[in-house]
Structure 1
Amino acid sequence: MTRAQPDPPPPRDRWTDAALAVLGLVLPVACVGCGAPDRALCRSCRAELDALPTCRRLVAGVRLDAAWSYEGLVRTLVLECKLRSRVDLAGPLAGRFGVLVRRALADHPEAVLLRVPPSRRGARRRGFDPVVLLLGRARLRRPRALVRVRAGGPGQRVAAGHGQKERTAVERVVATVGTLRATGVTGRDVVLVDDVVTTGVTMAEAIRAVRVAGGRVVRCVALAEVDAR
Structure 2
Amino acid sequence: MPSALVLVTRSACADALALLLPVSCAGCDEPDVVLCERCALALAPVPRHQVIDEPGGRVPVWSGLAFEGVAARVVRAVKEDGRTGLVRALAPALRAALDRLDPDGKGPVVLVPMPTSRAAYRRRGFRVPELLLRRAGLRPARLLRHARRTGDQRGLGRDARRRNVEGSLVAHGDVSGLRVVLVDDVVTTGASLAEAARALRAAGAEVVGAATVGATPRRLPHLGERRPDTFETHR
TM-score interval for Structure 1 and Structure 2 normalised by the shorter chain: 0.7 to 0.9
In the aligned structure 2, how far is the partner of 1:27 from the partner of 1:139? 30
Partner of 1:146: 144
- Matched residue, 2:67: 70
Letter in 1 for 2:35: L
Q: Name structure 1 gaps, 5 residues minimum.
A: 1-23, 153-161
| Post-superposition offset of 1:216 | 1.0
Q: Give distance in 2, aligned partners of 1:54 and 1:115.
A: 19
C-alpha separation between the residues in 2 aligned to 1:49 and 1:29? 19
Taking structure 1 as reference, are residues 110 and 122 closer, same or farther at Cα in structure 2, changes over 3 Å only?
Answer: same
Aligned ranges for residues 97-136 of structure 1 at < 5 Å? 97-101=94-98, 104=101, 109-136=107-134
1:101-158 per-position Cα deviation (integer Å, ceiling 9, x unaligned): 3554875642222111123322221110112212111111133241100258xxxxxx
SS of the residue 1:58 aligns to: strand
Structure 2 unaligned residues grouped into runs of 5+: 1-17, 220-229, 231-235
Cα distance in structure 1, aligned partners of 2:204 and 2:62: 23
Q: Is 1:165 the counterpart of 2:154 in the alignment?
A: yes
Q: 1:58 aligns with which of 51, 56, 60?
A: 51
SS in 1 for 2:154: helix
**SS of corresponding position for 2:33:** coil
Aligned to 1:155: none
Whichever residue aligns with residue 41 of structure 1, its letter is: L
**Higher RCO structure (Cα 8 Å, ≥6 apart):** 2
> SS where residue 144 of structure 1 aligns?
coil
Give the conservation status (yes or no) of the 8 Å contact 2:145–2:170. Answer: yes
For normalisation by structure 2, the TM-score amounts to: 0.74
Q: Which runs of 4+ in 1 moved over 6 A?
A: 24-27
**1:224 and 2:224 matched:** no
- Partner Cα separation in structure 2 for residue 169 and residue 99 of structure 1: 26
The answer on whether the counterparts of 2:66 and 2:215 sit within 8 Å (CA) in structure 1 is yes
Give me the whole-angstrom Cα distance separating, in 2, the residues matched to 1:218 and 1:77. 28
Give the number of the structure whose alpha-carbon radius of gyration is greater.
1
Give the structure 1 partner of residue 222 of structure 2: none
TM-score normalized with structure 1 length:
0.76
The 3 A distance-change label for structure 1 pair 98 and 150 is same
